[in-house]
Amino acid sequence: MRVPVSYSFRNLWTRRLTTILTASGMALVVFVFSAILMLAEGLQKTLVDTGSWDNVVLIRKGSQSEVQSGIERLQASVIETQPEVAVGPGGRRMLAKEVVVLISLPKRGTDKPSNVIIRGVSGESLSMRPQVKLLEGRMPKPSSSEIIAGESVSRRFTGAGIGETLRFGMRDWTVVGIFDAGNTGFSSEIWGDADQLMQAFRRPVYSSVIFKLRDASAFDAFKARVESDPRLTVEAKRETRFYADQSEMMAKFLRILGMSLTIIFSLGAVIGAMITMYAAVANRTAEIGTLRALGFQRRSILGAFLMEALLLGFIGGAVGLFLASFLQLLTISTLNFQTFSELAFSFTLTAEIVWQALLFSLVMGFVGGVLPAFRASRMKIVDALRTT
Amino acid sequence: MSESTTTCDEHGPPPDLEAQPVIVEVRNVNKAYLRGSHIIPVLQDINFDIREGEFLALMGPSGSGKSTLLNLIAGIDKVDSGTIVIGGVDITALGETELAHWRATHVGFIFQFYNLIPVLTAYENVELPLQLTGLTRAERREHVEMALSVVNLAHRMDHYPSQLSGGEQQRVAIARAVVTDPTILVADEPTGDLDRASAKEIMSLMCRLSRESGKTIIMVTHDPKAAEAAQVIRHLDKGYLNHANS
């Protein structure tokens, strides 16, 4: 039979100061653990949300990103004639040939330069991305040196506000509109006319071709055919997969960094919990003797002290998670290693992170409590009672 | 400690022990402790019986082995040799788990320093041994309330030990000891930490348990006045039982 849970809970409450200090150490570790997971999740979510399931991105085979890719005009025309390409209102093919270049722009306030993606878009680019909405101003006129900036870019980069002028590609470009793309990577881009940008940057090839599938389930067959077509040296990916791959290296880096930090921190927290639990066992030796004398088994004592350590871990975990949840209010920007461009994203808390963080905190509590709990359960009744 | 002698006669006549069956048989019990490389004998060839309803006081100087003998009878320590049969069960042959089960149902403990769990209320402390039984919550409540009313503390059931006086804490401990209606009650210096008035109150309560409820009580005490409440007094000296009973 178990020792009542209230026994473990109230012992923690009785030693409030020790409990708070120990749980705080654990909360700090869980905060770091959760923050790193939220960061990686936010990065991935931002990039995955950037894509649509029924859109297909084609880039040159072997390219890691659109910036490295090149698709010749002839190849783009071959792709445009594929039967899987959806046809929109007015009989137009739902396909966009885009060019992506990286430029360096100074940030507002600091004048420190950072890389920004310039995306040359064509007619259907906007209609294929329903998440992109014009916030203010208007769309650029075709064949003009007009651009629109993502809301995040316009806020953080000098000259990217509406009516302002940016100089790149040996031309002055006027910002005529600001668009919102939600929590997607497009918010960190500047869009202009594809042909104008190709001329300005002297790029004779497109970076990517994006089209909407007529039938979303036709992707696998399309991919197999187009990747084996000798005229095309391209790789086809669903847009969601494409952007998820873009975040992979960064997310992996964040996770490795985060896990390393967390492991180092957690060692300290576990030792803290262990000291607390050893002290608890030492202070309650007579109680342990009494419980055993009354008929509670060794395993009941083990369970009671483990329960106490787990509760300690849970409290630390819950507090750490609660504090980490406020990080969702922050938006941060960093360099995406895959594209070398600046990307703004938010910390994202998911049910899986909550579960992982709480499990982690319970593991810390368990590891910290298991040895003291064993000591408590191994005591001889007579010896324990003698310490009264 | 009490100056006036505590006798149990006001709680009824003593039981006719000769007519009662033997409930505890201690046979050829030896116990020694190892201190460094020295073996120190604590109990040597102890033999005696306790009859049902007997109130036995074990007396003797410090180190005479009386607490060790009590611990052996209570099943919280192991004999080196010999047997202790209680209610027909040879407890020296029981394994650790069986012994814990046996203690939970057959022994009520009263300690010198009460040994209440400080984070549990009086009610919860008394309920603790019942957690080891199959009783429902309602049945447990009924038992606990009855035990607390026996020690006249039903009105303090929600108080924590720190909110009770020493005498009250010992009364809660007695309620905890009797709540499972055990075969024997073992008390190790139950008045050793109490003032005169509280000690008298506790001894009076022990008398009630002995005379009115017919409980078998084995009490270790240094206090001759407390011992006078017992029907039988046995003396231990240097590990030997003095067979000239009082």
- Axis-axis angle for helices A285-294, A239-283 (nearest 10): 90
Residues A297, B97: C-beta atoms closer than 8 Å: yes
Instruction: Name which of B132, B34, B30, B46 is nearest B81 in CA terms.
Output: B30
Tell me which residue range forms the domain holding B186.
9-245
- Kindly give, in sequence order, each residue whose CB lies less than 8 Å from that of residue A13, ignoring residues fewer than 6 positions away: A19, B119
Residues A388, B101: C-beta atoms closer than 8 Å: no
Look at residue A259 in the predicted model and tell me its pLDDT: 82
For chain B, the average pLDDT equals 90
Residues B71, A13: C-beta atoms closer than 8 Å: no
Domain membership flag for residue B4: no
What value of ipTM does the predicted structure carry?
A: 0.92
- Kindly give, in sequence order, each residue whose CB lies less than 8 Å from that of residue A91, ignoring residues fewer than 6 positions away: none
Report, in angstroms and rounded to the nearest whole number, the Rg of chain B calculated over CA atoms. Answer: 18
Which position has the token pair 């070398």?
A340
Confidence of residue B1 (pLDDT cuts 50, 70, 90): very low
User: Tell me: the pLDDT tens digits for B192-214?
Assistant: 888 888 888 899 999 989 888 88
Instruction: Name which of A291, A367, A344, A328 is nearest A11 in CA terms.
Output: A291
Helix, strand or coil for residue A380?
A: coil
Look at residue B2 in the predicted model and tell me its pLDDT: 38
Report, in angstroms and rounded to the nearest whole number, the Rg of chain A calculated over CA atoms. Answer: 29
List CB contacts (< 8 A) between B128 and chain A: 4, 291, 294
Burial label, A83 (beta-carbon count in 10 A; 0-12, 13-18, 19+): exposed
The two tokens of residue A201 are 């940057």
Q: In whole angstroms, what is the distance from residue A236 CA to residue B83 CA? A: 85
Look at residue B3 in the predicted model and tell me its pLDDT: 43
Q: Where are the domains of chain A?
A: 5-48+246-386, 62-232
Domain membership flag for residue B134: yes
List A172's β-bridge partners, or say none: A167
- For chains A and B, CB pairs below 8 A equal 68
Q: In whole angstroms, what is the distance from residue A2 CA to residue A198 CA? A: 74
A360/chain B closest Cα distance in angstroms:
29
CATH code, B155: 3.40.50.300
Amino acid at B168: E
Which position has the token pair 């394994």?
B95
A192: phi then psi, degrees, rounded to nearest 5: -145, -175
Tens place of pLDDT per residue across chain A (388 aa): 678 888 888 888 888 888 898 899 889 989 988 988 888 888 777 777 777 888 899 999 988 888 888 999 999 999 988 999 998 888 888 999 999 998 888 888 887 888 888 999 987 888 888 888 889 999 888 888 999 999 888 988 888 899 999 998 889 999 999 998 876 778 889 999 999 999 999 988 999 999 999 888 889 999 999 899 888 889 999 988 887 787 777 778 877 887 888 888 888 888 888 888 888 888 889 999 999 999 999 999 999 999 999 999 999 999 999 999 999 888 776 666 665 566 667 888 999 999 999 999 999 999 999 999 998 999 999 999 987 6
Look at residue B177 in the predicted model and tell me its pLDDT: 95
List A212's β-bridge partners, or say none: A55
B142/chain A closest Cα distance in angstroms:
19
B194/chain A closest Cα distance in angstroms:
15
Domain membership flag for residue B170: yes
The total number of structural domains in chain B stands at 1
Look at residue B243 in the predicted model and tell me its pLDDT: 63
Look at residue B4 in the predicted model and tell me its pLDDT: 46
Strands B107-110 and B184-188: parallel
Strands B38-51 and A133-137: unpaired
List CB contacts (< 8 A) between A287 and chain B: 115, 117-118
